[in-house]
Structure 1
Amino acid sequence: MDKFHQSPNVFVGEIRIKVMELDRAVSFYETIIGLKVLERSAGSAVLTADGKSPLVTLEQPKDVIPLAGRHSGLYHFALLLPTRADLAVFLRHLIQTGYPFGAADHYVSEALYITDPDGNGIEVYGDRPSSVWKWENDFVEMATLQLDARGILEESSEPWNGLPAGTIMGHIHLHVGDLKQAERFYNDILGFKTVAYYPQAAFMSTGGYHHHIAINTWQGAGAPTPPKNMVGLNGYTLVFPDEAARQRAIRLLEQSAVSVENKSDEYWTSDPAGNLIKLV
């Protein structure tokens, strides 16, 4: 695994997801995805791969309503596995459980796609070595091709034992209402750089990664922010390399008239589509 998710890069850390039934969601994330409960309360559960670092927090609002209609918000969050052998173990696990999934080869990565019981999208993927990624004029070549499932399965016959400890949050992919407006926000204010385009989608990163953040208007141009109590994304964390870098981002947000809320030294903002972001 390359060093795209550490200093001096800015990358995605933890994801917060709203669900209808916490017990059902925890069971899914433990038995199908392979995360472990780090902390549990009446209304939330913090999940981890390594037993120390939070990756996904599940929250059940008291007045929660199901995911419905076309809105901005989560398309998927993506868990990055350390090796192709780990992807083989996870793929075999999905096949054996019979849980439905999709799959794709993106040149830069090999990916499996799952939807949780509430409709939240999840990608579990492995990167190909960055040395084989193809770049032209600062844009990386990506595609959506058929996955070589047989080749992946040949990488390992190890039994399933949950996600490996080295699993990290690889990226987040978001629905937005205005692609160019959101792209300017992430690039001009938060320091990302667009490295690929798809129809109605842009992929952005720091440090030459294929993408830490993707945005799309596949829910329709002008898709509104969802109700606060609707199932879906309840915010995600952007990790800055140090306090100086975080403060620079906060200053740029404020200079751009973007609201930043300070709650006990926790800084929160929102992208133009209303997706909540915690700056750490």
Structure 2
Amino acid sequence: MTTPYQIPSTTHLGEVSLKISNLERSIQFYTEVVGLQVLERHEGVATMTADGKQSLVRLEELTDAVTLPVRSHAGLYHFAILLPDRKSLGLALRNLAASGIEIGQGDHLVSEAFYISDPDQNGIEIYADRPRDTWRRDADNNYIMSSDPVDVQSLFDLSENEPWNGLPAGTVIGHVHFHVRSLEESRRFYTGVLGFDVVGNFAGMSALFVSAGGYHHHIGLNIWAGTGAPVNPDRATGIDYFTIVYAGQEPLQQALEQLRQQGAALEEHDGSWFTTDPQNIRVRLITAG
């Protein structure tokens, strides 16, 4: 019997590309509110970084873009920026609070998170993980998670009198979370084709979490926009692609061969490979470095 393909445990996520309606406005938001800095800028496109080297967020301005109502289509729920420690999260929270924007929150037991939206209603999570040895699983091997209130005061105390210099080096894209048309269809793609492991089968919440290497989730999937929700039109703001980063050429080639065997469409562009998920979200596949 052939062993099913499993994504390597060293795999992680990289750059998220967003379609936006006004580049100047978005650059101002991602620098002043989120705390990223401009890495490169070309005609209608800017990449944003935390360390001055690696792009975390790519912004592409669409001509005559439309922004659809929240939860009306399959597509981005949020992408999540993972900070290296709790003090960094406290500093980021101070800056978010000073900006005056609406902030959601959740203590998820495995992590502490804050939620905002950019000017085009792209959801953003900014979070820090709790130590991995504190994460717990239930009898079905699902990570035990919650949405309790965050201890905001302790975050303010931890970051008190510390200067805000934007998001620090060590900040990465931790996960992405999508509204999907069908949990089963998306499960087949993300586990059966891409090889992620199920780490949270939350049927009561109509959600499914998958990851590589035992992380609490690299991909979140939900049907909160409705089963069979229409995909985001090409000219609508939202996500264009997210990036899966493989540790080297060999695991990347194995992933590409798996995609070919499963009949997935593949195309190469500027040294990156792309396929498409059931929501018409492009998946970029690259090697580290």
Under a length normalisation based on structure 2, what TM-score does the superposition of the two structures give? 0.91
The answer to whether structure 1 residue 11 and structure 2 residue 17 are counterparts is: no
The structural deviation recorded for 1:68 is: 3.6
The structural deviation recorded for 1:161 is: 1.3
User: Which residue in the other structure is 2:63 paired with?
Assistant: 62
Contact 1:178 1:273 in 2 (8 A): no
User: Which residue in the other structure is 1:37 paired with?
Assistant: 38
User: Which residue in the other structure is 2:257 paired with?
Assistant: 251
- Aligned partners of 1:61 and 1:202: how far apart in 2? 31
The answer to whether structure 1 residue 86 and structure 2 residue 88 are counterparts is: yes
Task: Give the length in aligned residue pairs.
Answer: 274
Q: In structure 2, what residue type is equivalent to 1:80?
A: L
Question: Which stretch of structure 1 is more off in the superposition, 96-105 or 24-33?
Answer: 96-105
Contact 2:197 2:210 in 1 (8 A): yes
User: Which residue in the other structure is 1:266 paired with?
Assistant: 272
The structural deviation recorded for 1:264 is: 4.5
Question: Which stretch of structure 1 is more off in the superposition, 14-23 or 64-73?
Answer: 64-73
SS in 1 for 2:178: strand
User: Which residue in the other structure is 1:3 paired with?
Assistant: none
- Aligned partners of 1:214 and 1:258: how far apart in 2? 21
The answer to whether structure 1 residue 145 and structure 2 residue 148 are counterparts is: yes
- Aligned partners of 1:66 and 1:229: how far apart in 2? 9
Residue in structure 1 matching 2:211, options 187, 200, 205: 205
- Aligned partners of 1:48 and 1:266: how far apart in 2? 19
User: Which residue in the other structure is 2:4 paired with?
Assistant: none
SS in 1 for 2:264: coil
Under a length normalisation based on structure 1, what TM-score does the superposition of the two structures give? 0.94
The answer to whether structure 1 residue 215 and structure 2 residue 221 are counterparts is: yes
The answer to whether structure 1 residue 161 and structure 2 residue 165 are counterparts is: yes
Contact 2:48 2:56 in 1 (8 A): yes
Contact 1:8 1:241 in 2 (8 A): no
Percent of residue pairs identical: 43
SS in 2 for 1:139: coil
SS in 2 for 1:23: helix
CA distance 1:34–1:183, change in 2 (3 Å): same
- Aligned partners of 1:255 and 1:271: how far apart in 2? 16
Residue in structure 2 matching 1:188, options 186, 192, 197: 192
SS in 2 for 1:112: strand
- Aligned partners of 2:271 and 2:29: how far apart in 1? 33
Aligned-residue CA RMSD in angstroms?
1.3
Unaligned 5+ segments in structure 1 are 1-6
- Aligned partners of 1:201 and 1:9: how far apart in 2? 24
Contact 2:177 2:221 in 1 (8 A): yes
The answer to whether structure 1 residue 77 and structure 2 residue 100 are counterparts is: no
Unaligned 5+ segments in structure 2 are 1-7
The structural deviation recorded for 1:65 is: 1.9
- Aligned partners of 2:230 and 2:101: how far apart in 1? 31
CA distance 1:159–1:151, change in 2 (3 Å): same
- Aligned partners of 1:35 and 1:129: how far apart in 2? 25
List structure 1 segments (4+ residues) > 4 angstroms apart after TM superposition: none
CA offsets 1:141-165 (integer angstroms, 9 cap, x no match):
1111111111221212112111111
SS in 2 for 1:218: coil
- Aligned partners of 2:255 and 2:165: how far apart in 1? 39
- Aligned partners of 2:230 and 2:264: how far apart in 1? 18
- Aligned partners of 2:259 and 2:163: how far apart in 1? 47
SS in 1 for 2:158: coil
Contact 1:200 1:217 in 2 (8 A): yes
CA distance 1:217–1:92, change in 2 (3 Å): same
